Amino acid sequence: MSLIGLISGVERSEKTLIVHNADDETVESVAERFADRNVRVTAAPSDSGPEEYVVLAEGDRVLAATALSEVLPDGGELRTPEFDAKPYKPILNELDETMFTSYDTKRMVAASREIEDRAWRSSGRLYSGFQRYSDFEKQIPVYEQLGSKSYLDVTVLAHPDTDLPDHDGTFEVYPSRAKEIRDVWFVAFDGGGNDEAKCALLAEEREPHRFYGFWTYDPATVDYIFDYVDETYLDGRSDRHRMTGR
């Protein structure tokens, strides 16, 4: 399955967030907060359960349940999901591998930084695809810093639409003219052998500067992304090279 196939598979798996014992205004607030996620928000009839709680379901399977205040704390302000899963509330924990829609470039960069920061504080492999050399050029200072860590193996893939400027050669750049590489933005960290540290961001540019995709902490999904990129774009390719900056 391709990277775009992974995105399509997540997109087909819609989750439902059921809001119990809340008024219409509160339900609408929840719907607005999750408007950029592939989550259907519905209201349930009042029941004898606790006041204002929510249940996250996928089909007939209940994934999580928690008080509404855990999802919309501090008067309805929802924290932006990041990539360190430990502090997250139960509902947000289950929203990894849930489609997000229409992220702009700024949000994609911010999301990428979360994974890059996790890699910086750990060890292992970091794979990044920034679509085109001209897009990656702005990220070179960040990747020089990441590549300076001796325990971090950093690899970038992109379409060679221009010449990259000189840099310090602390990371590898592999050119690819594949359509998938031009269309998909991804950042993946393999956790350096620690399954709990594995994470990835994967998104397709379906409109100019508008991205649709998901993030994941699932070790199997992250491993698949690494295996797919290795086998499809990095193994035995005659056009791969190490950009030395010299």
Given 62, 93, 124, the domain boundary residue is 93
Residues 26 and 107 in one domain: no
The domain in which residue 29 lies consists of: 3-93
- Average pLDDT of span 176-202: 95
243 domain residue, yes or no: no
The order of strands in the sheet holding 210-216 is: 100-103, 210-216, 199-207, 184-189, 124-132, 152-159, 172-175
- Give yes or no for residue 129 having a pLDDT over 50: yes
Report if residue 246 sits inside a domain: no
Q: Is residue 41 part of a domain?
A: yes
Do 58 and 122 share a domain, yes or no?
A: no
- The residue among 84, 161, 158, 89 whose CA lies nearest residue 128 is 158
Q: In the chain, pLDDT over 70 holds for what percent of residues?
A: 87
- 159 forms beta bridges with 132
Last residue of a domain, one of 37, 67, 93: 93
- Say yes or no to pLDDT of 46 above 80: no
Residue 142 lies in a domain: yes
Looking at the fold, whether 108 and 43 belong to one and the same domain comes out as no
Check whether residue 109 and residue 230 sit in a common domain. Answer: yes
User: Among 76-85, 146-155, 184-193, where is mean pLDDT lowest?
Assistant: 76-85
104 and 225 fall within a common domain:
yes
Q: How confident is the model at residue 245 (pLDDT cuts 50, 70, 90)?
A: very low
pLDDT band at 73 (very low <50, low <70, confident <90, very high): low
pLDDT in tens, 85-116: 444 456 766 778 788 888 999 989 988 998 99
Cα angle 218, 222, 224; round to 5? 120
DSSP state of 232: I
Same domain flag for 112 and 46: no
Shared domain check, 169 and 70: no
244: in domain: no
Query: In terms of domains, do 66 and 110 share one?
Result: no
Please report, as a single letter, which amino acid is at residue 202. L
Helix boundaries (H) for the chain: 3-12, 24-33, 68-71, 73-76, 90-93, 105-120, 133-136, 140-147, 179-183, 219-229
CATH number at residue 11: 3.40.30
- 99-117 as b/e: b if 16+ CB within 10 A: bbeebeeeebbebbebbbe
Read off the pTM. 0.79
Q: State which of 68, 93, 118 marks the end of a domain.
A: 93
Our count of domains for the chain comes to: 2
SS3 assignment, position 196? helix
β-partners of residue 185 are 203
pLDDT at 11: 86
pLDDT in tens, 8-36: 998 888 889 999 999 899 899 899 888 88
164 lies in a domain? yes
Residue 209: CATH number of its domain: 3.30.870.10
Give yes or no: residues 52 and 132 share one domain: no
180 and 63, same structural domain?
Answer: no
